[in-house]
């Protein structure tokens, strides 16, 4: 077997993620959170999918982050195994302390807070947004993208607001991978370009080694052109109108994972 998509109680995007992996030719399984270590050891990559694990009780991702399987994920991350956290999976990785792991002699403590619109609580957001990738070569998942790409992607979360103890330290590292922007690629801290109030317009980040990526948006929902709404003011929407059979903008992420596993194992 190749990639394990971890199913927590309350996950709801595991099968879409599985479909994305199969689409690029990867073998993959949906694997329960309480599976034996001997089962988990057979996989060459792990994805923590979106959803509302344990109903987001206390706060999003915190209960799942305390499960024994996260000790396995931590060990795998330290061994260079690819780990991808999407939405709730991003929250779980953040709560577990796996990310961020950069050490610049100052704190990079991070948390994911409820969505904010300027100074008021914004609630759950389900919408299409745009992101750019600041350092594509910093992560094995993003190496097939360019830093000039403006990519439409879907978000579905109520607690996706990245908050950092020291924003300057984060800016001086290559931890920041995905940043919210408009359709022209310009970043604005204000809503709706920044849909949840995240510091630095952060939408996702990677570890220092580049094998762990945590992102709040959903790349599995941008695998095909027909996933992209026609109403977006973006050339990709025109692509959808022209040909629904073309690969979507986020297929590259899963192709990069596939090729990394082939190259490494």
Active site residues: 87, 218, 220
Q: Name the 3-class secondary structure at 265.
A: coil
Q: Name the 3-class secondary structure at 222.
A: helix
Contact yes or no for 80/42 (Cβ under 8 A): no
Half-sphere exposure of 153 (CA within 13 A, CB side): 28
Interhelix angle 68-78/88-96, rounded to 10 degrees, is 80
The closest alpha carbon to 112, from 176, 145, 158, belongs to 158
Contact yes or no for 218/211 (Cβ under 8 A): no
Own/partner pairs, 180-187, CB within 8 angstroms, 24+ separation = 180/129, 180/130, 180/131, 181/130, 181/131, 181/132, 181/150, 182/130, 183/130, 183/150, 183/232, 183/233, 183/234, 184/150, 185/130, 185/132, 185/148, 185/150, 187/132
């Amino acid at each position: 077997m190749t990639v394990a998509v971890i199913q927590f109680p309350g996950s709801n995007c595991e099968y879409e993620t599985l479909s994305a992996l199969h689409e690029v030719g990867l073998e993959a399984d949906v694997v329960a959170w309480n599976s034996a270590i001997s089962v988990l050891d057979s996989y060459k990559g792990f994805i923590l999918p979106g959803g509302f694990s344990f109903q987001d009780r206390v706060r999003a991702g915190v209960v799942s982050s305390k499960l024994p399987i996260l000790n396995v994920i931590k060990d795998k991350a330290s061994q260079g195994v690819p780990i991808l956290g999407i939405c709730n999976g991003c929250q779980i990785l953040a709560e577990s302390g796996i990310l961020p792991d950069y050490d610049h002699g100052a704190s990079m403590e991070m948390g994911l807070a409820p969505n904010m619109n300027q100074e008021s609580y914004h609630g759950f957001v389900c919408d299409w947004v745009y992101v750019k990738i600041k350092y594509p070569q910093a992560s094995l998942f993003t190496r097939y993208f360019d830093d000039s790409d403006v990519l439409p992607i879907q978000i579905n979360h109520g607690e996706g607001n990245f908050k950092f103890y020291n924003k300057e330290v984060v800016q001086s590292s290559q931890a920041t991978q995905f940043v919210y922007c408009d359709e022209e690629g310009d970043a604005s801290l204000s809503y709706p370009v920044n849909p949840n109030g995240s510091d630095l317009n952060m939408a996702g980040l990677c570890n220092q080694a580049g094998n762990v990526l945590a992102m709040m948006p959903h790349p599995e929902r941008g695998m095909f052109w027909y996933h992209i709404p026609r109403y977006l003011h973006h050339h990709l929407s025109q692509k959808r109108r022209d040909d629904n059979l073309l690969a979507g903008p986020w297929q590259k992420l899963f192709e990069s994972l596939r090729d990394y596993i082939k190259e490494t194992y």
